[in-house]
Structure 1
Amino acid sequence: MPTITQLFQATATAAPIVLTPQDEAVLRARIRAGRTEQRDVLRARIVLAAARGDSNAAIAAHLGVHVDTVRKWRGRFALQRLEGLRDLPRSGRPTVFTDVQAAEVKAMACELPAESGLPLSRWSYTDLATEAVTRKIVESISASTVRRWLSGDAIKPWQHRSWLFPRDPDFAAKAARVLDLYARTWQGVALGDDEYVISADEKSQLQALRRRHPDQPAGPRRCRRVEFEYIRGGTVAYFAAYDVHHARVMGRIAPKTGIVPFTELVEQVMTTEPYASAKRVFWVVDNGSSHAGQTSIDRMKQAWPNAELVHLPVHASWLNQVEIYFSILQRKAIKPGNFRDLKHLAERVLAFQDRYNTTVTPFKWNYSRSDLNELLRRIADHQTAQAA
């Protein structure tokens, strides 16, 4: 580490600069990089100009800085090479809060406010700052300081996510066989090229909402505006079958859900190639009333001998890949809705289906049996802890 005297001597004169190929490559890369901080770009330009033999005054005039700035970084580089272009350590502003105080506020953010007798369901930054003062953790603190602490530790007490315990006694077995199908195996045997996996479900209560006033398109410094008030135009149901490994969606619109429209969807798919002549077609479905229970399995097998209905566990629609497609449909084609009538809504849904089939590839499904086993292990540990 150079002494203060050495630094002063190096910067007092126009130190000669000779660059190695490696140093020059690093400096030029800093200038070209779009994310380099401008202070580092300036220092690199100073050194490169000095290496060309330019005087300090000429460099300062060209870059629009004071000559002392050029002298400083030229001298630093001459003495320490690239390390000399770094800022020297600074003492910085004295800390106001201790690590213990910060940890106590973070611990408080991990609690539910109701546990402290507060009539709140979740914390805000301001609530946490106020409560920290009330509990005498700190004398005073701003909400922005709390926000900075929690952002650094990725604690977000204002967020929540709903979940539930699996209550299907055969959850592990039912979920595992569906995951096997996604991995193209069934009962330990790999699926053949003439065997297909269909993920099917219905999206009910699709509303034809017509806005009372026309939308306003986006403009300079203004996003698109959609009228809040609307007129209800009725509802329809959308039944869809998604070929898991070939990214193909086949669907139909029905006035409402039920066994009949689902049966019509199955017929639509099973009378279409390659499914009509397939060795087996596995239909992955949830436990909705349109396709629930052993009766639905028997009905499917009787109507289509090469079809196999496979039920997901109860409350496991998140394992049904067609739900991903429904989410995409909702975001891209339905929301925010502005439809003249039910016919307009149905046309939009089916037109999006056709467009989707021409542009997509299968979902990158990474959830496997090992992930399922890890989930069940965590749930078992949680239940054990609760019981204790």
Structure 2
Amino acid sequence: MASYKVTLTKEERSMLMAITKKGSHKSIKVRNAYVLLNCDSGKYGEKKTNKQICDILKIGSRTIDRVKKLFVEDGLDVVLKGKVSGRVYKKKIDGEAEAHIIALSCSEPPKGYGRWSLRLLADKAVELKYLDSVSHEAIRQTFKKNELKPWRVKGWVIPPQQNGQFVADMEKVLDVYKRPYDRDNPVICMDESPKQLIEETKISIAMKPGQDKKVDYEYSRNGVCNILMANEPLTGKRYPKITKTKTKQDWAVFIKETIDAHYAKQDKITLVMDNYGTHTTGSFYETFASEEAKRLMDKIDFIFTPKHGSWLNMAEIEINMMDRECMARRIGEAEKLISEISCWTENLNEAKKKIHWKFTKQDADKKLAKHYVA
């Protein structure tokens, strides 16, 4: 390749320096700016050899020569922005075809298919003669522009439209969450979730610089335990417990232990929880003597989240956080799980980490309007 000499003016150097120091630019633009600055043989530059530039920028000598050639033959704008192609590309998917494809993606997929894929949509669009031919990449670009992802499905349970009971129970929960902190009647949220005990069968390979931690696909399943969680959102306290089973008695004992250990001085507590079959006042009478069951009943003001509305329970958020921060790994023994959860709980309780609830009645009016009678 012929030798090309780069000579920059003072203004060109200033512009290139600005590109390398601030702003949001494509990596190739920043790289070319660095190359030109280091190749500048003008009176403002400090020219370096190709080898020195290669060592600094970690690029090949041919790349440097190509940038220099482009600068000399086509100018600075082409180096930074690229050549403008003279070709005019005809848009393959016009507005009419795009509308057909979007409508197709919102319909049921052909029999034998669980969902629409990009390739399936491309084949179907040609079969239905929306287009003579089209690639799955062109379909993808169409969906990207319209912010559609027909191959993705989110799980969500939606109650029937205009479900008065759902609205009533939801607003009752939201009213409770609006209350200011009351030391004599604190709001406690409660939820529970199963956890599989998974044990490694082979020793993992520790993470090293440039290498991820490696765990073997093989594992041993040591059964399932149950995690019960009570949390007080306004004070940043949480009280988990691990049990072997998930029965009415487990729930009743957990509620009693939580009250006696942390709320013995309060005359009343407000307990928000999901309406599970085990979460009933009758569970107290099936577990304790009638006097003790009555004492617990008188102590608690029960607030149940609506059916299909467990997302209104802040204890569910607490369990999800614990799952991500503490339990997102293989733990094969209940004793170790108890120990790890205890450490996690102690740290968060000491820091008084709170849940900042933002969903209000006004949000419900906007997002769940279809569940209200017009």
TM range (shorter): 0.7 to 0.9
- Contact kept, 8 Å, 1:201 with 1:286, in 2: the verdict is yes
- Contact kept, 8 Å, 2:226 with 2:244, in 1: the verdict is yes
- Contact kept, 8 Å, 1:301 with 1:307, in 2: the verdict is no
1:368-383 matched pairs, under 5 angstroms: 368-379=360-371
Q: CA deviation at 1:86?
A: 6.3
- 1:362 corresponds to which residue? 354
- What is the alpha-carbon distance in structure 2 between the residues aligned to residue 29 and residue 282 of structure 1? 60
Higher relative contact order (CA 8 A, sep 6+): 2
Gaps of at least 5 residues in structure 1 are 1-13, 77-84
Q: 2:65 matched to 1:69?
A: no
Distance verdict in 2 for CA 1:218–1:103, change over 3 Å: farther
1:65-104 matched pairs, under 5 angstroms: 65-66=67-68, 69=71, 73=75, 91-100=86-95, 101-104=97-100
1:335-346 matched pairs, under 5 angstroms: 335-339=328-332, 341-346=333-338
The match for 1:227 among 192, 217, 220 is: 217
- 2:272 corresponds to which residue? 284
- 1:210 corresponds to which residue? 199
- What is the alpha-carbon distance in structure 1 between the residues aligned to residue 231 and residue 122 of structure 2? 50
Q: Count the aligned residue pairs.
A: 345
- Contact kept, 8 Å, 1:280 with 1:308, in 2: the verdict is yes
Q: What SS does the aligned partner of 1:271 have?
A: helix
Q: CA deviation at 1:226?
A: 3.2
- What is the alpha-carbon distance in structure 1 between the residues aligned to residue 158 and residue 90 of structure 2? 45
Q: 2:343 matched to 1:351?
A: yes
Letter in 2 for 1:97: K
- Contact kept, 8 Å, 1:178 with 1:284, in 2: the verdict is yes
Gaps of at least 5 residues in structure 2 are 1-6, 54-63
- What is the alpha-carbon distance in structure 1 between the residues aligned to residue 36 and residue 198 of structure 2? 63
Q: 2:105 matched to 1:112?
A: no
Distance verdict in 2 for CA 1:236–1:48, change over 3 Å: closer
Distance verdict in 2 for CA 1:379–1:170, change over 3 Å: closer
1:170-209 matched pairs, under 5 angstroms: 170-183=165-178, 185=179, 190-192=180-182, 194-204=184-194, 206-209=195-198
- 1:39 corresponds to which residue? 29
Q: Percent sequence identity over matched residues?
A: 18
- Contact kept, 8 Å, 1:17 with 1:47, in 2: the verdict is no
Deviates more, 1:213-222 or 1:120-129: 213-222
Letter in 2 for 1:106: I
- Contact kept, 8 Å, 2:167 with 2:371, in 1: the verdict is no
Letter in 2 for 1:238: I
Q: 2:99 matched to 1:129?
A: no
Q: CA deviation at 1:193?
A: 5.2
Letter in 2 for 1:166: P
Q: CA deviation at 1:140?
A: 2.0
Deviation per residue, 1:334-373 (Å, 9 max, x gap): 344241x333333333333334434562223221112222
- What is the alpha-carbon distance in structure 2 between the residues aligned to residue 161 and residue 45 of structure 1? 48
Q: CA deviation at 1:70?
A: 5.4
- 1:334 corresponds to which residue? 327
- What is the alpha-carbon distance in structure 2 between the residues aligned to residue 179 and residue 300 of structure 1? 28
Letter in 2 for 1:328: M
Deviation per residue, 1:163-195 (Å, 9 max, x gap): 333266422122112122223x2xxxx554554
- What is the alpha-carbon distance in structure 1 between the residues aligned to residue 297 and residue 70 of structure 2? 86
- What is the alpha-carbon distance in structure 2 between the residues aligned to residue 301 and residue 294 of structure 1? 10
1:208-287 matched pairs, under 5 angstroms: 208-218=197-207, 220-231=210-221, 233-273=222-262, 275-278=263-266, 280-287=268-275
- 2:131 corresponds to which residue? 138
TM-score between both structures, scaled by the size of structure 2: 0.74
TM-score between both structures, scaled by the size of structure 1: 0.72
